[in-house]
Amino acid sequence: MITSRNSWERLVELWDISEVASVVSKALASLYILKVGTYESDLDLVTISSNIKECEKILKKFSEDLELYMSNKAPETVLVTILINSFGDVDVEKIKEHLSKAIKGEGKLNKILSEKPIDKKALEDGDLVELERVLGKLSDTLSRKVEQMANEIYAF
């Protein structure tokens, strides 16, 4: 019975990580679509905006977990480990700076999306570049983590 419970917990963890990976990947794809200018209608912009707002919640959760970890109020969570692995740097202060700029970039992107027509120059803002960088790193790390966990679970 213990093995079954452990397997079930791993499946739930895999599901959660997969959901986060999906949200981050959709937001990154949305950002690329905006930069390339391949959206065709206001409906596309609504979807893009929804993807960005959903990702903003995820990045804030990453930030909250990191804050708790930095203040020794919580142990290292899976999200904190993913952040550290994404940046290849255990200097959590630097990671916090990158994450803060990315969250700020999401706010700017939401503002850009509310204005029409979309100003392509505004998409080159430093915080938006940082958002793209952070999302890219997280997407890569999350994809590797999902693959690793799936292989571990499937091996049992």
Domains of the chain and any CATH numbers? 2-155 (1.20.120)
Q: Are 146 and 14 in contact (CB under 8 A)?
A: yes
Q: Write down the pLDDT at residue 115.
A: 81
* Segment 77-88 mean pLDDT: 92
* Segment 68-96 mean pLDDT: 91
**Token output for 69:** 């970890």
Q: Write down the pLDDT at residue 102.
A: 96
| Least confidently predicted of 65-69, 130-134, 150-154 | 150-154
Q: Quote the CA–CA distance of 127 and 34 in Å, as a whole number.
A: 15
Q: Quote the CA–CA distance of 103 and 140 in Å, as a whole number.
A: 18
Q: Quote the CA–CA distance of 57 and 12 in Å, as a whole number.
A: 20
Q: Are 83 and 66 in contact (CB under 8 A)?
A: yes
Please, what is the angle between helix 78-87 and helix 126-155, to 10°?
120
**Token output for 129:** 């570049």
* Tens of pLDDT, residues 16-73: 999 999 999 999 999 998 888 766 676 688 889 999 999 999 999 999 999 999 999 9
- Greater confidence (126 vs 8) lies with 126
Q: Write down the pLDDT at residue 94.
A: 93
Q: Write down the pLDDT at residue 1.
A: 37
Q: Write down the pLDDT at residue 60.
A: 96
**Which pLDDT band holds residue 107 (cuts at 50, 70, 90)?**
very high
Q: Write down the pLDDT at residue 156.
A: 56
Where are the alpha helices (H) located in the chain, listed in sequence order? Answer: 2-36, 42-70, 78-87, 92-114, 126-155
Residue owning tokens 């929804």: 50
Percentage, residues of the chain above pLDDT 70: 90
Q: What is the dihedral of CA 7, 9, 10, 11, to 10 degrees?
A: 90
Q: Write down the pLDDT at residue 2.
A: 45
Torsion over CA: 111, 116, 50, 150 (sign): negative
* Segment 93-115 mean pLDDT: 92
